A and B are shown apart, each in its own frame.
Chain A
Amino acid sequence: MTKYEYISEVEKNLGGIPYIEKVKMLDFYREMIEDKIESGMSEEEVIAELGDPVLLAARLRDEYRMNNPEQSASPPPNQMPQKRSSGWKALLVIALIIGSPLILAVIVAVASILFGIAIAIIAVGITFVIGAAGVGITGIVLFLTSFLALSGGFYTFLVQLGLSFLLIALCLLLVGVGVGAIQLLMLLIRAVSNAISARKRKAV
């Protein structure tokens, strides 16, 4: 009889023992046989020393029944819920692993959208301020030089003066819009930071 035949002969006679326990038992004897052969014994000697595989299996069954009196009749009842809970845990872990790139992608997308809006508002604000400055300076220059235009006639002076007032008014309007944009940006930042801190508080 080879060691493989011996082990399978033992396995055949381990009826009534739960699968996991059976695997552990056979692993133990497989390892023992290999180690004995490694230490110099021949395969036949090792098998002979272990004795009749049917008797060994019977001894193992007896031992198992003695150590597990409540489990010998039916499969261990406490194993089922344990298995289920560990299964759920595994499922959750798998879901998290699969889902995490998705969650990350969504966070990145939302962050980049908010960032884009902020940049756009800043750009509009800067544009308006620069525009306002340009218009304002032109208006002031026109206002100051309108007296020089008196030489070109009273009506020319009047048109230039009116134009200068118009430009200054436009400048003030643009400044208002720019300031409004910056205020809008501040409001947005505050809203986002409030949302984040609220989420954090909920998590804690």
Chain B
Amino acid sequence: MDVQMKKGLLDICVLSVLTKGDSYGYQIISDVSRGVAMSESTLYPILKRLESGGALTTYSVAHNGRLRKYYRITDAGRVKISEFLDGWHEMQAIYDFISGKEPEDHDKI
């Protein structure tokens, strides 16, 4: 898959994982990897981008004598997810156009 496209999709995947509750790096990788393959070197820039874009906030929690960074989705992050879901039909139409398939029109019999 195109790198840029996958990047954008992975952003949404990470945000989607965070809608189920605050999480930390390793846990996010484990959760996302159930759907899409993702390595830690991919996750780091995604988290950084989402944080600087205001889609998530971070805080640290003491764990086993060290600090663990937790990520929490913001309202802006939730908006990003719903925008992606709303835009999916457009994506489907583009896919249909590219693949040369007749667009599925449910109004037609």
Q: Which residues of A contact B (CB under 8 A)?
A: 24-25, 27-32, 34-36, 38-39, 50, 56, 59-60, 63, 67
Q: Which residues of B contact A (CB under 8 A)?
A: 24-27, 29, 40-41, 44-45, 47-49, 64, 66-69
Cβ A31 vs Cβ B44 within 8 A: no
- CB B33 to nearest CB in A, in angstroms, measures 13
- CB A191 to nearest CB in B, in angstroms, measures 54
Q: Beyond A35-B25, A56-B41, A59-B41, is A27–B69 a contact (Cβ under 8 Å)? A: yes
Candidates A30, A36, A39, A63; contact of B44 at CB < 8 Å: A63
In Å, the complex CA distance between A56 and B45 comes to 13
- CB A62 to nearest CB in B, in angstroms, measures 10
Q: Which residues of B contact A38 (CB under 8 A)?
A: 64
Q: Main SS of the interface on chain A?
A: helix
Q: List 9 A-B contacts (CB under 8 A).
A: A28-B25, A28-B47, A31-B26, A32-B40, A35-B68, A38-B64, A50-B40, A60-B41, A67-B49
In Å, the complex CA distance between A63 and B69 comes to 21
Candidates A29, A31, A59; contact of B24 at CB < 8 Å: A31
Q: Beyond A27-B69, A28-B69, is A35–B44 a contact (Cβ under 8 Å)? A: no
In Å, the complex CA distance between A31 and B61 comes to 12
Q: Which residues of A contact B47 (CB under 8 A)?
A: 28
Candidates B25, B26, B44, B69; contact of A60 at CB < 8 Å: B44
Cβ B25 vs Cβ A67 within 8 A: no
Q: Which residues of A contact B29 (CB under 8 A)?
A: 32
- CB B16 to nearest CB in A, in angstroms, measures 21
Chain A residue nearest to B65 in the complex (CB): A34
- CB B50 to nearest CB in A, in angstroms, measures 12
Q: Which residues of A contact B40 (CB under 8 A)?
A: 28-29, 32, 50
Cβ B44 vs Cβ A67 within 8 A: no
Cβ A31 vs Cβ B69 within 8 A: yes
- CB B106 to nearest CB in A, in angstroms, measures 41
Candidates B41, B45, B48, B68; contact of A31 at CB < 8 Å: B68
- CB A79 to nearest CB in B, in angstroms, measures 14
Candidates A36, A50, A63, A67; contact of B26 at CB < 8 Å: A36
Q: Which residues of A contact B66 (CB under 8 A)?
A: 30-31, 34
Candidates B26, B45, B67; contact of A32 at CB < 8 Å: B26
Determine which residue in B29, B40, B64 has the highest number of CB atoms from chain A within 10 A of its CB, and name it: B40
